[in-house]
Chain A
Amino acid sequence: DTGVSQDPRHKITKRGQNVTFRCDPISEHNRLYWYRQTLGQGPEFLTYFQNEAQLEKSRLLSDRFSAERPKGSFSTLEIQRTEQGDSAMYLCASSLRDRVYEQYFGPGTRLTVT
């Protein structure tokens, strides 16, 4: 399978714990995006990378959130001191730089904070 993969698919954590999610984009894609989706809503943009550079961050990305893409390939999204309001589906997408209209999404990581 050569699509976008995310790991884990599901994560249950207690409030206050830290969690980290991983995204592996399509191999030749130089752009990688993170979105968050809550029930009944469309995805909300969080941040994106071009290669290893983080070029844009949404206001939604509080100080407790950090994303990295150290070698321009896979990316991680870490949430520190999780809160119940962080419960959501976290989606990763990737695209080619010159085909930014066509983003390929992964299946998402569903986070539940208890």
Chain B
Amino acid sequence: DAKTTQPNSMESNEEEPVHLPCNHSTISGTDYIHWYRQLPSQGPEYVIHGLTSNVNNRMASLAIAEDRKSSTLILHRATLRDAAVYYCILRDGNQAGTALIFGKGTTLSVSS
């Protein structure tokens, strides 16, 4: 699986937008971009995924660069509950195997 690079940590204030970057310069044409997050003492949870176009759901937005070499997860209004480790993951949509390859992720802190 292609590699992703994320900052180790980021800080935000409550009710402000948060932009979490992810670089994936070696992404292939069939790689989907996934974001998961892991709240303290819990298993990871799915946030969003996309291939080429920007995506929105109730949790977040995913902005994908035109060359697909980077993407940004956008939390529109951070809450204290959004403090978590955020993982950017690439998965080859052509492969039958469905293992998610997690890196170390970005630890997001949210202050009130």
A-B complex is real = yes
A103 touches B103 (CB 8 A): no
Majority secondary structure of chain B interface residues (helix, strand, loop or mixed): loop
Among residues of B, the one whose C-beta sits closest to the C-beta of A101 is B49
A45 touches B99 (CB 8 A): yes
Residues of A within 8 A of B87 (CB): 42
Q: How large is the interface on B (under 10, 10 to 19, 20 to 34, 35 or more residues)?
A: 20 to 34
B98 touches A91 (CB 8 A): no
Residues of B within 8 A of A107 (CB): 41-43
| Given A101-B32, A101-B91, CB of A45 within 8 Å of CB of B100 | yes
Q: Which of A4, A55, A104 contacts B96, CB < 8 Å?
A: A55
Chain B contact residues, CB within 8 Å of chain A: 32, 34, 41-46, 49, 85, 87, 91, 96-105
Q: List 25 A-B contacts (CB under 8 A).
A: A40-B104, A42-B85, A42-B87, A43-B100, A43-B102, A44-B102, A45-B99, A45-B100, A48-B98, A55-B96, A55-B97, A56-B97, A56-B99, A58-B99, A91-B44, A93-B43, A102-B46, A103-B46, A103-B100, A104-B45, A105-B43, A105-B44, A107-B41, A107-B42, A107-B43
